[in-house]
Amino acid sequence: MVGADTYGYLVEGDVGKLTFQGKKFLSFERTSI
């Protein structure tokens, strides 16, 4: 589950690093292209 504050931050086509703890989403770090 992604919180509303993070969901609005993610855009289709974004490239970056997803961080999980087991099956729990922790963060997304966008990388520059």
Predicted local confidence at residue 5, as pLDDT: 66
Per-residue pLDDT tens listing for the chain (33 residues): 667 666 666 778 888 898 999 988 888 888 876
Query: How many structural domains compose the chain?
Result: 1
How remote is the C-alpha of 24 from its chain's centroid?
Answer: 11
List the domain range (segments joined by +) for residue 16.
1-33
State the Cα–Cα distance between residues 4 and 33, nearest whole angstrom: 25
Predicted local confidence at residue 21, as pLDDT: 92
SS3 6: helix
